[in-house]
Amino acid sequence: MYKVLVCCFNPRSVDTIHYGFIDAGCVVKNLPIDWTYADKTDLLKQHLIDAIEEIKPDFVYSYGWWDIGIDLDAFIGIIKEKGLFHIYWAYDDPVCFENISLPVALKSDLVFTTVEECIPEYKKRGISAHLMLHGCYPPRHRPVPPCPEFSHDIVLLANNYNIEESPIYQEYRLHGANSMIKSLADHGFDLKVWGLWWTHPDRWFILPEKFCGEFLPKGTEPFVYASAKITLGLQTVGTSKTHFSVRTFEAMGCGAFHLSQYSPALESFFQKGIHLEWSKSAEETLEIAKFYLKKEAARKRVALKGQQEVYEKHTLLHRTKYGLDVIKQYL
């Protein structure tokens, strides 16, 4: 099996794909490249060279938001200097296709994207691209006992982004914030939103402080979800048949009852009322929340079906096994 050097540019967001490669039988070295490397090119180069020499990888697999002061040219330069095959997973597509994905993709040997509709755009530019979705990692995303400190009827784990790259995606995200969060807050539901920037004055959407919790460290998600009756999901993309938030997979993997803002991609993979629920309006959100808060058996039935579905079809092992089948065609 392959030896893989995995480089994650934004471990605060998505940081688990290396587990998928390990589960698939690969020998893996995981090198998080985060803010500690911002404007520290020499340190980046040295640690990357050390990791390459340690594992002697068959390929390098990088992913995430690199525009945090990371010297991308230096990173790519070392990989090319060592003669290694480089793969980039563009999971920030389509929102960041132009400013984040393309600069790496144009210098990579192979690209995976979460957005089927972006594949022709890559191919127009001579870039080999294939689909790879997000997924859950069952050892992390699993049912756990509830914690009193996280006990609320309804919770959301998400950050309050201003999406400057595209007004279309900002508008869709803002619609979700209003139809999902504001509607519930305005009607006095027991709601808690955990994450960054929800009270920030420069945000397009501002939530009253009483509904806000702090940013929680990785690994806390299962305990938050286990302590709530309903877990919410926001989406940024309403134009793709394949892309939706990684939080959806994670919440369902944790065995939570999940109510998400509608996205066409949800219909591609799940059934409404069977695996999860989704809402297209504030009125629908209120109706669904009121119904399921009173119906524990119905909540548990949907949550269980949802967890079974993602465990059977949407784990990181499913993703990396498919990815490796693609990769071997290029090596």
Amino acid at residue number 174:
L
Q: What is the pLDDT of residue 243?
A: 97
Residues 6+ apart with CB under 8 A from 313: 269
Cα separation, 143 vs 254, in Å, equals 5
How would you classify the pairing of strands 228-233 and 258-261?
parallel
Contact yes or no for 196/207 (Cβ under 8 A): no
Residue pLDDT, tens place only, 139-170? 999 999 999 999 999 999 999 988 776 788 99
Residue 128 confidence (pLDDT): 97
pLDDT, mean of each 10-residue run, the chain (331 residues): 95 91 98 94 97 98 94 97 98 94 97 98 98 97 97 97 82 96 98 96 95 93 98 96 97 98 98 98 98 98 98 98 98 95
Query: In terms of Cα–Cα distance, which of 214, 255, 258 is closest to 232?
Result: 258
Could you tell me the pTM of the whole model? 0.95
- What pLDDT is attached to residue 162? 87
The DSSP element (H or E) to which 93 belongs, if any, is none
| Residue 25: predicted pLDDT | 98
Cα–Cα distance for residue pair 250/256, rounded to 1 Å:
9
Tell me, what's the pLDDT at 32? 96
Sorted by where each starts, the structural domains of the chain and their CATH numbers stand as 3-135+315-327 (3.40.50.2000), 148-313 (3.40.50.2000)
Contact at 8 Å (CB) between 106 and 125? Answer: yes
- Residues 60 and 86: beta-carbon distance below 8 Å: yes
Structure tokens at 234: 């926001």
